[in-house]
Amino acid sequence: MNSISNISNFNLNKGNLKKEEIITLLNTKQNDINTLMRIANSKRKNDIITYSKNIFIPLTEICRNYCGYCTFRKDPSEPKAVILKSKKETIEELKFGEKYGCKEALFALGEQADHETIVKSSLAKKGFGSMLEYLYDICEATLNETNLLPHTNAGILSYGEMKALKEVNVSMGLMLESSSERLMDTIAHKNSPGKKPSLRIKTISNAGKLKIPYTTGILIGIGETKEEIAESLLEIKKLNDKYGHIQEIIIQNFRPKPGIPMEKVKEPSLLDMIRTVSVAKILFDEVSIQVPPNLNYDTCQTFLLCGADDWGGVSPVSTDYVNPESKWPKIKHLKELTSDGGLKLEERLAIYPKYMNKNYLNNELLNKTLHLSHSL
């Protein structure tokens, strides 16, 4: 294994790393970790660390996937499962979030939930033929009745579905998680048809074709190899090089939780996270790199030294329903952590400034976005 002491041989100025070079960096040992972090941190454009003040609303927790690490998905028979959150309740929650300064309405829902009879029936009672129709109506109501900007993460979507949702969302997202087909035969994804890499890559690609500002990323610690991490990052880079629509990349660490199939699987080490975040920043120096602070409560400051420049969505009013056991840090605490590193915390919207134009937003969304941006 090569040492990164010969880092000058790598083309780091433009982030054009080859797979073999990425694998080398992902295997960086103790003596070279500081060098890797320093190089990654040098890619930072300024001293600003951003976050989005959001309210997280799960419209349904029914999902066709049974991921080995997930606690978001619920069976329809579970007493507390969200089958379909009502529009009235949703708007009430959004207005509550608005009182606390939230500007992003993060809508998450299980993938293809309307394939379940109980969800389909609930939709029909409300006068909707599909989850897409209901989601569109909710996003439209959000724009009309609140000052929040919708951001949707609904799993795999078709080109037509994304084209429709683009009219009422300032941005959207889908984690690639991994480009490894091998993981489809493991405990992580063997019961999750929606995690097939080709389907997720197609969805992210379609977002690019439609000029939708997009969030994606990888999940590490679910059984992938260093080579597969490198391939996943390069797949995202290829998509962004082609379309330029990816506004932020999340490097998310697996966390074991009681009751999940992977509860005894070891989570990635701090050094694994440091290496992966650093490599991501070197590869994507024009894209924000985000590490969820609630999943790394005691170590999140470390990633600021690796070039990470965004804390992601942080809610003062709602739970992280994907990781309910991991509470959001208080924004005051994030500000203290950020300033302690000699950096400045700034609030952003669900869409980054470079995408606030007519190439990405219709007139209604653009006007509302620009109005909100002036209030930050």
Confidence (pLDDT) at 31: 78
Of 318, 182, 225, the closest CA to residue 19 belongs to: 225
d(CA 12, CA 282): 7
Residues in contact with 89: Cβ distance below 8 Å, sequence separation at least 6, in sequence order: none
Using pLDDT thresholds of 50, 70 and 90, give the confidence band for residue 29: confident
Lowest-confidence pick of 9-18, 87-96, 116-125, 347-356 = 9-18
- Tell me the mean pLDDT in the region 305-321: 95
Radius of gyration of the chain (CA): 20
Q: Does residue 229 surpass a pLDDT of 60?
A: yes
Confidence (pLDDT) at 15: 65
User: Residue 123: enclosing H or E segment and its boundaries?
Assistant: helix 117-125
pLDDT tens track for 136-188: 999 999 999 999 999 999 999 999 999 999 999 999 999 999 999 999 999 99
d(CA 358, CA 370): 11
For the stretch 225-263, what's the b/e string if a residue is b when 16 or more beta carbons lie within 10 angstroms of its beta carbon?
ebebbbbbbbbbbebbeebebbbbbbbbbbbeeeebebe
3-state DSSP of 8-54: HHCCCCCCCCCHHHHHHHHCCCHHHHHHHHHHHHCCCCCCEEEEEEE
Task: Determine whether 222 is exposed, middle or buried from the number of CB atoms within 10 Å of its CB (0-12, 13-18, 19+).
Answer: buried
Q: Which two tokens stand for residue 42?
A: 């040098």
Confidence (pLDDT) at 285: 87
The full set of domain ranges for the chain reads 10-373
Are the CB atoms for 105 and 146 separated by under 8 Å?
yes
Using pLDDT thresholds of 50, 70 and 90, give the confidence band for residue 1: very low
- Residue corresponding to tokens 């993460």: 153
**What beta strand segments (E) does 170-260 contain?**
171-173, 214-220, 246-253
Are the CB atoms for 237 and 283 separated by under 8 Å?
yes
Please state, rounded to an integer, the average pLDDT across all residues of the chain.
94
Are the CB atoms for 40 and 87 separated by under 8 Å?
no
- Tell me the mean pLDDT in the region 104-117: 96
Q: Does residue 6 surpass a pLDDT of 60?
A: no
- Tell me the mean pLDDT in the region 211-238: 98
**What beta strand segments (E) does the chain contain?**
48-60, 104-109, 149-153, 171-173, 214-220, 246-253, 288-290, 310-314, 344-348
Q: Does residue 13 surpass a pLDDT of 70?
A: no
Confidence (pLDDT) at 7: 57
Using pLDDT thresholds of 50, 70 and 90, give the confidence band for residue 14: low
d(CA 308, CA 291): 7
pLDDT tens track for 241-290: 999 999 999 999 999 999 999 999 999 999 999 999 999 999 998 999 99
Using pLDDT thresholds of 50, 70 and 90, give the confidence band for residue 2: very low
Confidence (pLDDT) at 68: 96
- Tell me the mean pLDDT in the region 105-127: 96
To the question of whether residue 63 is assigned a binding role by annotation, the answer is: yes
d(CA 246, CA 74): 30
Secondary-structure class of domain 10-373 per CATH: alpha beta
Using pLDDT thresholds of 50, 70 and 90, give the confidence band for residue 114: very high
pLDDT tens track for 327-373: 999 999 999 999 999 999 999 999 999 999 999 999 999 999 999 99
Q: Angle, to 10 degrees, between the axis of helix 270-283 and the axis of helix 30-41?
A: 40
Of 315, 319, 317, 169, the closest CA to residue 247 belongs to: 169
Residue count of the chain: 376
